[in-house]
């Protein structure tokens, strides 16, 4: 009966689509139908933006952010149709994207699709994991954890059942490379899922899809039908689970809660999902890009995979270049490529020939690399040394014309908007950070507010329950560290050198 709870989001989505809301009086009926407590139904119906009344305002907020930062919106057209070609890339994972039609199963087979799975099945599962370990593949979703070690934990944890989940809850502002892969080469992702399932001993896999990507479902379902029908996956079934609009569900334990029909609050760790994940069973949750690398390792070998990259970051990085560049897009380059080369060679520099003030990396909870440090290599360790994570590969280039107080405020608003609200330090701390940033941007702050920002950052880092809250003020704090003079001129001189901030207007 507990698996029935997985249907909760779909049931509530259906009600909302029919009635425009989820009426309170239907909650007992839904609870009975799924055999779960009414409180659980109520909690989910009010938690997820797509199911609750806050959906429209949250959507408007996010679309506004996307426009102001000049990044693609999920509603924008199919990526590979008319996407700019970037000569000089090292397209390994993206090799077939935009070249073959995913509906043409035979063409993909002829181009090597599912060959990695065939090779994997000739090996023992532990040999597959050993090959991944030798390749040095690290997760591409943000944490950069060893893929092989995650699989090994799931494989060796005693259980009757195991699960594999592809995390496509891609919610970072300006990051749409997972969507690009799912549109351009879903076969590579499904093949990676199948190899993971074989390696850990699972017969059930899921694609956890961001709700804003629901328009991909008809195509993905058609591809899955082709793949299942071909028998290439053996007994493995892959299902699509559509999320319901909460950014925090990109965090793997929040994702698991949402799949179990609960509000998407992160869980305490340990146990880690590879030990006790979906329904308490060992579960591998891997990002889209991570899984897409796996068949290439099996097909071409560990040495081939690690023949490019750096000592700690092997292979290629798939990046989503956006913001104030002339030519935004998804590109694939060897790990270790200088960031400035990515911006100038592929992005063609900044619009209007302007200079670069900073690059925002690692998603909305990431940080900033200032314009005088752009020689940093694109790698996990390179970005970490520069004080800003690589994350899932989103890069928002910020031109010299932008106001960094306004940039910090936008990211502060995002953190407040997307906090799941489950713990007080994050719920209250993100709201207070946003409030201070608004005050600074309107010339209503005092010097002490900068100290307050710093101490709020420390409090969030040390007292928040999960990585979201711990990282929530990172962009604002990085802006303050690198561009303090701008903050001070807003406070003391009531001026914004970029002419972006207005010092009049209503209180927020
Ligand atoms: S830190 Fe934020 S996102 Fe994480 S549990 Fe607390 S309120 Fe939720």
The domain spans of the chain are: 2-47, 93-306, 316-399, 404-493
pLDDT per position as a tens digit, 67-105 = 888 888 887 776 676 566 788 899 999 999 989 999 999
pLDDT per position as a tens digit, 271-318 = 999 999 999 999 999 999 999 999 999 999 999 999 999 999 999 999
- CA dist 234 → 154, 162, 187, 258, 368 (Å): 21, 16, 15, 28, 45
Instruction: Write the ipTM.
Output: 0.99
> What fold is seen in the domain 93-306?
Rossmann fold (3.40.50)
CA distance 247 to 470: 15
Q: How many of the other CB atoms lie within 10 Å of CB of 370?
A: 20
Residue 321 has what pLDDT? 93
| Residue pointed to by tokens 């106001």 | 403
Q: Which of ligand 1's atoms lies nearest the C-alpha of 470?
A: 1
CA distance 341 to 26: 56
CA distance 401 to 390: 24
CA distance 84 to 93: 17
Residue 143 has what pLDDT? 83
Taking a C-beta distance cutoff of 8 angstroms, is the pair 328, 322 a contact? Answer: yes
pLDDT for residue 507 is more than 50: no
For residue 422 and ligand 1, the question of a CB distance below 6 A is answered with: yes
Pocket probe for ligand 1: among 414, 420, 430, the residue whose CB has the most ligand atoms within 8 Å is: 420
Q: Which CATH code for domain 404-493?
A: 1.20.1440.230
Among protein residues, the one with the nearest Cα to ligand 1's atom 6 is 423
Joined tokens for residue 20: 């425009």
For residue 421 and ligand 1, the question of a CB distance below 6 A is answered with: yes
Angle (nearest 5°) at CA 394 between 392 and 395: 140
Joined tokens for residue 347: 């992005």
Same CATH fold assignment for domains 316-399 and 404-493: no
Q: Which of ligand 1's atoms lies nearest the C-alpha of 418?
A: 3
| Residue pointed to by tokens 């779909």 | 10
For residue 304 and ligand 1, the question of a CB distance below 6 A is answered with: no
Instruction: Spell out the CATH class of 316-399.
Output: alpha beta
pLDDT per position as a tens digit, 269-279 = 999 999 999 99
For residue 51 and ligand 1, the question of a CB distance below 6 A is answered with: no
Side-chain-side CA neighbours of residue 119 (13 Å): 18
pLDDT for residue 466 is more than 80: yes
For residue 45 and ligand 1, the question of a CB distance below 6 A is answered with: no
Q: How far is the CA of 255 from the centre of ligand 1 (A)?
A: 13
Q: Which of ligand 1's atoms lies nearest the C-alpha of 469?
A: 1
Among protein residues, the one with the nearest Cα to ligand 1's atom 8 is 420
């Amino acid at each position: 009966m507990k698996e029935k709870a997985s249907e909760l989001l779909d049931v509530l989505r259906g009600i909302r689509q029919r009635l425009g809301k989820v009426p309170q009086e239907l909650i007992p009926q839904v609870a009975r139908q799924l055999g779960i407590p009414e409180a659980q139904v109520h909690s989910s119906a009010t938690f997820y933006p797509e199911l609750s009344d806050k959906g429209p305002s949250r959507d408007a907020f996010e679309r506004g952010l996307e426009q102001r930062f000049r990044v693609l919106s999920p509603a924008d057209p199919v990526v590979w149709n008319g996407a700019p070609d970037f000569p000089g890339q090292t397209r390994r994972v993206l090799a077939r994207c935009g070249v073959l039609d995913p509906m043409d199963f035979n063409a993909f087979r002829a181009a090597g699709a599912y060959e990695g799975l065939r090779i994997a099945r000739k090996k023992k599962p532990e040999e597959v994991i050993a090959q991944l370990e030798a390749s040095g593949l690290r997760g591409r979703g943000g944490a950069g954890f060893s893929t092989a070690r995650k699989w090994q934990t799931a494989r060796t944890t005693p259980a009757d059942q195991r699960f594999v989940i592809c995390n496509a809850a891609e919610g970072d502002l300006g990051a749409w490379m997972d969507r690009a892969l799912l549109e351009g080469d879903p076969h590579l992702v499904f093949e990676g899922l199948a190899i993971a399932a074989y390696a850990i001993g699972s017969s059930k896999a899921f694609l956890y899809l961001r709700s804003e990507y629901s328009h991909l479902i008809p195509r993905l379902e058609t591809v899955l039908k082709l793949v299942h029908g071909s028998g290439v996956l053996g007994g493995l079934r892959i299902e699509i689970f559509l999320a319901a609009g909460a950014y925090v569900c990109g965090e793997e334990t929040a994702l698991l809660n949402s799949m179990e029909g609960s509000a998407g609050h992160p869980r305490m760790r340990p146990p880690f999902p590879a030990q006790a994940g979906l329904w308490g069973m060992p579960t591998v949750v891997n990002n889209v890009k991570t899984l897409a690398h796996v068949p290439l390792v099996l097909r071409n070998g560990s040495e081939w995979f690690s023949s490019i990259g750096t000592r700690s970051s092997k292979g290629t990085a798939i990046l989503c270049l956006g913001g104030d560049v002339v030519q935004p897009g998804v590109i694939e380059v060897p790990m270790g490529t200088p960031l400035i080369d990515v911006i100038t060679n592929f992005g063609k520099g900044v619009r209007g020939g302007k200079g670069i003030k900073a690059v925002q990396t690692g998603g909305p909870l990431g940080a900033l690399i200032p314009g005088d440090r752009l020689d940093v290599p694109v790698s996990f360790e390179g970005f970490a040394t520069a004080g800003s994570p690589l994350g899932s590969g989103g890069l928002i280039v910020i031109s010299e014309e932008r106001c960094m107080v306004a940039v910090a405020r936008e990211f502060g608003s995002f953190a407040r908007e997307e906090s799941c609200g489950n713990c007080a330090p994050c719920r209250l701390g993100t709201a207070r950070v946003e409030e201070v940033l608004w005050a600074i941007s309107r010339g209503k702050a005092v010097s002490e507010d900068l100290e307050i920002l710093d101490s709020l950052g420390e409090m969030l880092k040390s007292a928040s329950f999960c990585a979201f809250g711990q990282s929530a003020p990172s962009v604002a704090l990085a802006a303050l560290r690198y561009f303090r003079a701008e903050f001070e001129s807003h406070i003391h001189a009531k001026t914004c050198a970029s002419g972006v901030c207005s010092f009049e207007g209503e209180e927020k």
